[in-house]
A and B are shown apart, each in its own frame.
Chain A
Amino acid sequence: MRDVYVAGIGTTVFGAHEDVSLEALGARAVIDALRDAGLDRQAIETAYVGHMSQGEVTGQRVLKELAIPEIPVTNVENACASGSSAFREAWIAVGAGMADVALVLGIEKLAGKGLLALKSRSFEDRVGHIMPGSYALAGERHMAEFGSTVEDLAWIAAKNRTNGVANPNAMYRKACSVEEVLASRRIAGPLTVLQCCGTASGAAAVVLVAGKRADSEARRTVRVRACALSSRMQWGEPEDLSIFLPTHRAARTAYEYAGIDPDDVDVVELHDAFSVGELLHYEGLMLCARGHGAELVRSGATAISGTVPVNPSGGLLARGHPVGATGVVQIAELVKQLRGTAEHHQVLGAKVAVAQSQGGTGAGAGAAAVTILSR
């Protein structure tokens, strides 16, 4: 694999965008990313577009409105890990020498406000299961096995929502305390509504280039060190729900490939669709030992002022979750951190950044992606 660099980033504000078309959302992010990279549309050689439910040939429908040349376009779906998966495909294409410049777009337009719901309707759904229920069950198991508490989970939500107040692109920008999180409407198990991400529409784009096109300091600043992907494909054997194993496997692969130790990580953007997710992903990403997520919470290490700030942008909880865009906006936020240009909550001297996302159904099928970037 050749070295691959992030030459440009672009993102829309995340919001309801009722009157903004899918094409217009995508255009905003793509134009900003190309301008940031200082590249003309003719330079793009291939494009990967991550989305969950925008329909057939979404990438082509969006990019044709910008008169992008008729390059290979691949649409990528992996539920909430669609954007990260698209990014990974682009990294592989450039790294393998199939293209010198690749465009990644993550995009989603979700109708209405409220909690996330997936399309497939399983037996579990008919019994009365809900999407947050899967995370609630994982949280219950973690609390029963390791003694984590509802306060630990609420702290995560309060941290991220409050971080998001300073993020001009976030949709839900309201600070809240642990008490307010705990007192908010109950959803399932330990989860209250402020611990659950809200739907949003939005887009984010990234331009990746091979070494020979990273011919300016700006383009060479951020290098992609690894993109790992793992799956959840449970056909019926009981699995351990107190850890998200696909995240852990992807993390191990990524750290090993990059030759980086979890202790070297300076900043993280991870998948806090629900507070329980962040708690378990601390362990999956090996920011702490297995079962010690609550201790990491209580140490304050993942707060803005801590040793490894997690979700300084506010995460999914503050940004909202335009499904396909999430994996790509995480990359964009981390690129700003590494460049030193974060408008908010800049982690001083950040050199190594990790992005993690996961998607899937409550019925045993899903994906998790871990990406490592460095300066």
Chain B
Amino acid sequence: MTLDSSPFAIPRLDDAPPSADPTRFRVDRDGEARLVGGCCRDCGCVTWGVRSLCPRCWSTRSMQEIALSRRGKLYAMTTVQRTPAGYRGPYSVGYVDLPEGVRVFGRIHWPVDARWTPGADVELIVERIAVDDGTEPLTVPAFRPVTEDGDA
């Protein structure tokens, strides 16, 4: 996904608000949104976000940063109606399972009034969230259904 192609794209790099967690999600200098993962050099364990300790083999500082897949399968989603203070809703959140065996969490952009389907193919986009409490907006990962030709 590049800056120009998505309705949720950040118009200019300079405008990109901070990620809700840059160890897990970033919009890079070249405009690509990516989910950040860690892969352990010693045992191959993959986590969402780089960790200083591999949870599987306990090696320290063995995790290398990798870009996780941009596509996955929708595991579950739900629409939040009673949003937390400062958050404008409703919006949907949910879990997506990536081919690396990692489950990620983000906003889900499913067509309104259509029932979600478990296992649906979804792809990563970026969403800017404004929180009405005077803090800076955040960018968070979001997913939308993939269609045959790649356009949602």
Binding site for B on A (CB under 8 A): 115, 123-130, 132-133, 136-141, 144-145, 185-189, 193, 235-238, 241
Contact = CB atoms under 8 A, between A and B. Distances in A.
A140 B78 contact: yes
B62 interface: no
A241 B102 CA distance: 15
A199 B88 CA distance: 24
A238 B102 CA distance: 6
A299 B95 CA distance: 32
Contact of B140 (A127, A132, A145, A237): A127
Contacts of B47: 235-236
Contacts of A238: 75, 95, 97, 101-103
Interface string B45-69: 0011000000100000000000000
B71 to A, nearest CB: 16
Given A137-B76, A188-B79, A241-B75, A123 B24 contact: yes
A188 B102 CA distance: 25
A133 B101 contact: no
Interface of B: 20-21, 24, 47-48, 55, 75-84, 87, 89, 91, 93-95, 97, 101-103, 105-107, 116-118, 129, 138, 140-141
A115 B91 CA distance: 19
Given A123-B20, A129-B93, A145-B118, A236 B78 contact: no
A189 B78 contact: yes
A128 B93 contact: yes
A127 B81 contact: no
Nearest to B117: A144
Nearest to B55: A235
A335 to B, nearest CB: 36
Contacts of A125: 84
A207 B97 CA distance: 47
A127 B76 contact: no
Contacts of B55: 235-236
Contact of A133 (B78, B129, B140, B141): B78
A105 B138 CA distance: 43
Contacts of B89: 128
10 contacts: A123-B20, A127-B129, A130-B83, A140-B77, A144-B116, A187-B81, A188-B78, A189-B78, A236-B48, A237-B101
Nearest to B102: A236
Given A140-B78, A236-B55, A237-B101, A127 B106 contact: yes
A141 B76 contact: yes
A128 B107 contact: yes
Given A123-B24, A128-B87, A235-B47, A189 B75 contact: no
Contacts of B91: 128
Contacts of A235: 47, 55
A43 B110 CA distance: 62
